[in-house]
C-alpha cells in the first residue's frame, strides 16, 4: 500500500475482509505500469469520467430524453428532508411514525422476551431473533408472489450478518473489549458461549401481522424458524461432490453446516429467499506453513483466510469437538476427509431458503460463484427466457457478477434448480461507457486445465481468481444492486475504496483514496438482461457538496449529502432507496463527520433528485429495506447501534448508544416499521 494512504485504517472494519486481489497490489501495478505505460493504465482519468459518464446520453432512459413528460418526472417524492443527525435516535420526516419491531433476542413464539440478550442461553438464542439485522424481505402470507398479496400479514425474512460478543455475554462487562472478538480464557472458550454466537448469525423467518391498533407484532406460526451458523445444508450445482468441498463431516462433498455473515439477500421469482455469504473467510483460520511462512491454497489465500487468529476464535473451545474444530482449516489429518481443510470452501455462496416450508433444507447454489457476496438481485423474470441475477463482491478491487440460467423461466414450474445450470459472468467497464460480460466457463478463453482450472468446480470455488484471469474491472467495493422496474436499468452501490491510488483510477472508479463511494448503473444491450454487452454511467458520485455529482450534473446539497452507499432498493414506483454504511472507525470523525450518523435517502432515478428520509442512532448502519405490497408500511433494519463505543469506554460502562430501549440495556440491532400518519405511500 502506498505511503500516502497507509495511515487510513477505516477500510478495515471489524466486519470487513482484508483486500486480497493480487492484481491490484502495489507490486503488480508497478510491473503493469512499466509494461503498459502509465497512460494506458489510467484509461481516461477523472475529467473524462465525470464529464463523460455522469448521466451520459448512452444510457439515459428514453423517457427522459423526450416524449412522455409524466414519465420523465419520475416517481413522486413528497416529504420534507430530515437534516444530518448525530443524535442517538431515529429521525424520520414530519408526518411519519416509527415502531421498533423484533430487536435481537425477540422470541419466535410470539411471547414477550423473559430474559435480556445477556441472560439468554444458546438454546434460547436458537429460538429467537439473531443480531446484526441486514437484508430482508416481506413475503405476503399467501405465499404465491414475492410482491403481491397481504399488506398486513406475512413472513418477514431477514439476515443476521455478524455479532458483537461484548453486547451478548455478561462476562464482558468491565473489560476493555472493542467491536470484535472477546478474549479467550485460559483453556479455551465456553462451548455454550460460542454456540450462542453461532446461533445469532444466519436468517430469521418470522410471521408478523398488523394489529387493530396499527402496531405490528410477531405471531406464533409453525413456519417461524431460525437458520444459522450450524444448520445442516445441501451443496448444489457444479461444486456438489467436488474434491474441494469434501470434509470429515461430508466425505462425499454434498453437505455443510451453516451459513455465515449473511449480508444482503435476494428474492427469487418463485418466491423463495436467497441469503448472501459475505465476509465469511475470517471465521476460519489456516495455520499451514512451509519454510516458516503461511502456505495456503489459492481458494483460501485469494479470499483472505486468516493465518493466525480467527475472527471470533470459534475453534478454540474448552473440550473442542467437531462442531468447533471445523473452523480450523489447517491440514491436520492424513487426507481432506480426515480434517476440515475444505470446510471454508463450502462458504462464500448464495444460499436458498424456502420460508414457507419449515422443513426445507437450505441449499448452497454454487453456480452463482464463490466470493464475498453482498447480495443478489434478479432482472425482471420473463416467461420462456433465462433468469438473470446480479451480485457484487464487496471487497476492495473486487468484481460485479451476473448469472444467466441455462434453462428458461416458466412461472408454473420454476424452482431453485434453475440456479444450478447456467453461466456466471464478470463485468468489464470500459472507459468509453460501454461494458461487457466475461464468461467464467471452464474451457472458454483462459479458464483451461493448462491454466490451472481442471473443471467448472475449480472455476467456481476460485471465482475471484477466474475473474482476475479473464480481465474483469476491479471495483470500489460492490455492495447492493437494484433493478429499476420502470426501465430495467441495473444500479449498484460502490461503497468506498480508500486504497485506490491515482494510478488505479478508471472511469467507473474515478476517485483515488475514495472515501465516499458512488452508484453505477447500466443498461443491457437491447434491454435484454441476458446480453453480453451493456452501456453504463455513474448515477451519483457521493460526498459533500464540493465533492459530489449527480446524473444531470448537480452536486449534492444539505438535503442530500451522503457517503458510503450500501443498501439499495427500488420500490414499485421506481423510488430508489439508498442506505449508508460509513464504517465504525470513521463515523462522526474526520472527513466523514459532516455526514452524521448513517442514514437512508430516496432518489428519483430520472431527475437525480435525492432527499434524506431517515437518520439512525449512534454507531449503527442502516441496511435492509422493504415495504408491504401496498407500499404503506416500510421495514428498515438498523444494525449494530453502539458499535463505535471505544473499548476503554465499554470497560467504564460508557456505551454511546442505548438504542432502542434506552436506560442501561445494551444496544440492540432491530427492525423498525415506518408508516405515514395519513396512511399514504411511504416516500410520497
Residue ranges in contact with Ca ion by CB under 5 A:
15, 566, 581, 621
> For residues 154 and 565, which CB has a smaller minimum distance to ligand FEO in the complex?
565
DSSP string over 133-186: EEEEEEEETT-SBTTBS-SSEEEEEEEE----GGGT-GGGTTS---SS--PPPT
> For residues 279 and 535, which CB has a smaller minimum distance to ligand FEO in the complex?
279
Min separation Cβ 115 and Ca ion, Å:
27
Strands (E), 495-640: 518-524, 533-541, 549-550, 565-570, 576-580, 599-603, 610-615, 621-627, 633-639
Query: Do residues 532 and 437 make contact, with C-beta atoms less than 8 angstroms apart?
Result: yes
> For residues 566 and 609, which CB has a smaller minimum distance to ligand FEO in the complex?
566
**Which does residue 339 bind out of Ca ion, ligand FEO, none, counting CB within 5 to 8 angstroms by kind?**
none
Q: Say how far apart CA 517 and CA 498 lie, in whole Å.
A: 10
Min separation Cβ 278 and Ca ion, Å:
7
Shortest CA distance to 591 belongs to which of 2, 10, 179? 10
**Which does residue 484 bind out of ligand FEO, Ca ion, none, counting CB within 5 to 8 angstroms by kind?**
none
**Which does residue 315 bind out of Ca ion, ligand FEO, none, counting CB within 5 to 8 angstroms by kind?**
none
Min separation Cβ 394 and ligand FEO, Å:
4
**Which does residue 278 bind out of Ca ion, ligand FEO, none, counting CB within 5 to 8 angstroms by kind?**
ligand FEO
Phi, psi values for residue 448, rounded to 5°: -120, 170
Min separation Cβ 310 and Ca ion, Å:
19
Min separation Cβ 174 and Ca ion, Å:
27
**Which does residue 277 bind out of ligand FEO, Ca ion, none, counting CB within 5 to 8 angstroms by kind?**
none
C-alpha cell at 19: 483486500
> For residues 339 and 621, which CB has a smaller minimum distance to Ca ion in the complex?
621
> For residues 315 and 394, which CB has a smaller minimum distance to ligand FEO in the complex?
394
**Which does residue 506 bind out of Ca ion, ligand FEO, none, counting CB within 5 to 8 angstroms by kind?**
none
Min separation Cβ 263 and ligand FEO, Å:
3
Min separation Cβ 479 and ligand FEO, Å:
5
Binding site for ligand FEO (CB under 6 A): 161, 263, 278, 374, 394, 479, 566
Query: 617 has which bridge partners?
Result: none
**Which does residue 537 bind out of Ca ion, ligand FEO, none, counting CB within 5 to 8 angstroms by kind?**
none
Q: Give the pairing type, strands 225-227 and 216-218.
A: unpaired
Min separation Cβ 254 and ligand FEO, Å:
28
C-alpha cell at 41: 493504465
Min separation Cβ 219 and ligand FEO, Å:
29
Report CA torsion sign: 314, 315, 320, 324.
Answer: positive
Q: Say how far apart CA 419 and CA 349 lie, in whole Å.
A: 12
Phi, psi values for residue 377, rounded to 5°: -140, 135
> For residues 179 and 436, which CB has a smaller minimum distance to Ca ion in the complex?
179
Which residue's C-alpha cell is 454454487? 366
Which residue's C-alpha cell is 483486500? 19
Min separation Cβ 13 and Ca ion, Å:
6
Distances (CA, A) of 497 to 11, 436, 449, 478: 7, 23, 34, 10
Q: Say how far apart CA 22 and CA 30 lie, in whole Å.
A: 12
> For residues 120 and 600, which CB has a smaller minimum distance to ligand FEO in the complex?
600
> For residues 79 and 347, which CB has a smaller minimum distance to ligand FEO in the complex?
347
DSSP one-letter code for 665: S
> For residues 430 and 493, which CB has a smaller minimum distance to Ca ion in the complex?
493
**Which does residue 476 bind out of Ca ion, ligand FEO, none, counting CB within 5 to 8 angstroms by kind?**
none
Phi, psi values for residue 135, rounded to 5°: -50, 150
> For residues 554 and 578, which CB has a smaller minimum distance to ligand FEO in the complex?
578
Contacts of 51 (CB under 8 A, 6+ apart): none
Min separation Cβ 349 and ligand FEO, Å:
15
- Expressed in angstroms, the distance from the first to the final Cα of the chain is 46
Shortest CA distance to 463 belongs to which of 380, 527, 513, 403? 403
Min separation Cβ 581 and ligand FEO, Å:
6
Query: Do residues 378 and 388 make contact, with C-beta atoms less than 8 angstroms apart?
Result: yes
Name the closest residue to ligand FEO (Cβ). Answer: 263
Query: Do residues 276 and 372 make contact, with C-beta atoms less than 8 angstroms apart?
Result: no
**Which does residue 221 bind out of ligand FEO, Ca ion, none, counting CB within 5 to 8 angstroms by kind?**
none
Query: Do residues 639 and 583 make contact, with C-beta atoms less than 8 angstroms apart?
Result: no
> For residues 55 and 282, which CB has a smaller minimum distance to Ca ion in the complex?
282
Q: Say how far apart CA 72 and CA 68 lie, in whole Å.
A: 6
Name the closest residue to Ca ion (Cβ). Answer: 581
> For residues 278 and 339, which CB has a smaller minimum distance to ligand FEO in the complex?
278
Burial of 535 from C-beta contacts in 10 A (0-12 / 13-18 / 19+): buried
Query: Do residues 19 and 500 make contact, with C-beta atoms less than 8 angstroms apart?
Result: no
**Which does residue 161 bind out of ligand FEO, Ca ion, none, counting CB within 5 to 8 angstroms by kind?**
ligand FEO
Amino acid at each position: 500500500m502506498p505511503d500516502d494512504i497507509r495511515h487510513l485504517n477505516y477500510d478495515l472494519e471489524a466486519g470487513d475482509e482484508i483486500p486480497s486481489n493480487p492484481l491490484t497490489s502495489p507490486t503488480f501495478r508497478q510491473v503493469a505500469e512499466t509494461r503498459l505505460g502509465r497512460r494506458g493504465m489510467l484509461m481516461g482519468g477523472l475529467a473524462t469520467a465525470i464529464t463523460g459518464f455522469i448521466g451520459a446520453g448512452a444510457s439515459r432512459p428514453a423517457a427522459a430524453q423526450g416524449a412522455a413528460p409524466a414519465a420523465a418526472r419520475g416517481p413522486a417524492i413528497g416529504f420534507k428532508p430530515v437534516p444530518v443527525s448525530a443524535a442517538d435516535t431515529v429521525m424520520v420526516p414530519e408526518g411519519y411514525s416509527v415502531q421498533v419491531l423484533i430487536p435481537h433476542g425477540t422470541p419466535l413464539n410470539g411471547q414477550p422476551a423473559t430474559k435480556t440478550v445477556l441472560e439468554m442461553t444458546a438454546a434460547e438464542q436458537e429460538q429467537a431473533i439473531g443480531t446484526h439485522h441486514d437484508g430482508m424481505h416481506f413475503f405476503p402470507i399467501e405465499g404465491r408472489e414475492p410482491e403481491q398479496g397481504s399488506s398486513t400479514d406475512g413472513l418477514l425474512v431477514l439476515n443476521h450478518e455478524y455479532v458483537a460478543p461484548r453486547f451478548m455475554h455478561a462476562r464482558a462487562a468491565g473489560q476493555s473489549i472493542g467491536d470484535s472478538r472477546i478474549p479467550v480464557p485460559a483453556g479455551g472458550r465456553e462451548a455454550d458461549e460460542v454456540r450462542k454466537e453461532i446461533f445469532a448469525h444466519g436468517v430469521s423467518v418470522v410471521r408478523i401481522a398488523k394489529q387493530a391498533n396499527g402496531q405490528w407484532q410477531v405471531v406464533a406460526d409453525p413456519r417461524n424458524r431460525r437458520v444459522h451458523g450450524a444448520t445442516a445444508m445441501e451443496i448444489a450445482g457444479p461444486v456438489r461432490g467436488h474434491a474441494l468441498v469434501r470434509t470429515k463431516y461430508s466425505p462425499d462433498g454434498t453437505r455443510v453446516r451453516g451459513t455465515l455473515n449473511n449480508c444482503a439477500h435476494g428474492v427469487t421469482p418463485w418466491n423463495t429467499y436467497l441469503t448472501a455469504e459475505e465476509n465469511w473467510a475470517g471465521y476460519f483460520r489456516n495455520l499451514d506453513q512451509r519454510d516458516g511462512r503461511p502456505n495456503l491454497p489459492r481458494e483460501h489465500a485469494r479470499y483472505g483466510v486468516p493465518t493466525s487468529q480467527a475472527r471470533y476464535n470459534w475453534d478454540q473451545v474448552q473440550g473442542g469437538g467437531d462442531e468447533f474444530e471445523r473452523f480450523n482449516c489447517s491440514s491436520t489429518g492424513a487426507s481432506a476427509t480426515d480434517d476440515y481443510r475444505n470446510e471454508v470452501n463450502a462458504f462464500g455462496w448464495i444460499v436458498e431458503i424456502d420460508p414457507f416450508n419449515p422443513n426445507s433444507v437450505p441449499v448452497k447454489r454454487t453456480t452463482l460463484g464463490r466470493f464475498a457476496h453482498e447480495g443478489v438481485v434478479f432482472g425482471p423474470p420473463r416467461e420462456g427466457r433465462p433468469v438473470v441475477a446480479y451480485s457484487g463482491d464487496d471487497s476492495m478491487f473486487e468484481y460485479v457478477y451476473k448469472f444467466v440460467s441455462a434453462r428458461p423461466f416458466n412461472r408454473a414450474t420454476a424452482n431453485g434448480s434453475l440456479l444450478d445450470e447456467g453461466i456466471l459472468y464478470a463485468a468489464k467497464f470500459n472507459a468509453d461507457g460501454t461494458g461487457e460480460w466475461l464468461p467464467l466457463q471452464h474451457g472458454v478463453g483462459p479458464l483451461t486445465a493448462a491454466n490451472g482450472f481442471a473443471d467448472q468446480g475449480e472455476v467456481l470455488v476460485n471465482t475471484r481468481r477466474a475473474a482476475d484471469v479473464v480481465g474483469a474491472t476491479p471495483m470500489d467495493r460492490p455492495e447492493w444492486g437494484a433493478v429499476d422496474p420502470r426501465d430495467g436499468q441495473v444500479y449498484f452501490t460502490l461503497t468506498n475504496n480508500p486504497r485506490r491510488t491515482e494510478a488505479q483510477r478508471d472511469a467507473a472508479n474515478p476517485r483515488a483514496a475514495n472515501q465516499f463511494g458512488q452508484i453505477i448503473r447500466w443498461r443491457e444491450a437491447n434491454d435484454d438482461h441476458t446480453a453480453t454487452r451493456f452501456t453504463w454511467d455513474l448515477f451519483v458520485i457521493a460526498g459533500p457538496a464540493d465533492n459530489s455529482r449527480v446524473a444531470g450534473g448537480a452536486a449534492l446539497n444539505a438535503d442530500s449529502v451522503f457517503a458510503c452507499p450500501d443498501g439499495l432498493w427500488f420500490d414499485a414506483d421506481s423510488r430508489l432507496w439508498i442506505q449508508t454504511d460509513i464504517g465504525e472507525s470513521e463515523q462522526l470523525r474526520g472527513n466523514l463527520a459532516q455526514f452524521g450518523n448513517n442514514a437512508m435517502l430516496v432518489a428519483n432515478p430520472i431527475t437525480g433528485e435525492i432527499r434524506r428520509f431517515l437518520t439512525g442512532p449512534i454507531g449503527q448502519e442502516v441496511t435492509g429495506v422493504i415495504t408491504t405490497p401496498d407500499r404503506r408500511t416500510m421495514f428498515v433494519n438498523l444494525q449494530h447501534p453502539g458499535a463505535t463505543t471505544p473499548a476503554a469506554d465499554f470497560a467504564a460502562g460508557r456505551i454511546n448508544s442505548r438504542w432502542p430501549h434506552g436506560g442501561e440495556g445494551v444496544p440492540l440491532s432491530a427492525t423498525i416499521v415506518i408508516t405515514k400518519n395519513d396512511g399514504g405511500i411511504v416516500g410520497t
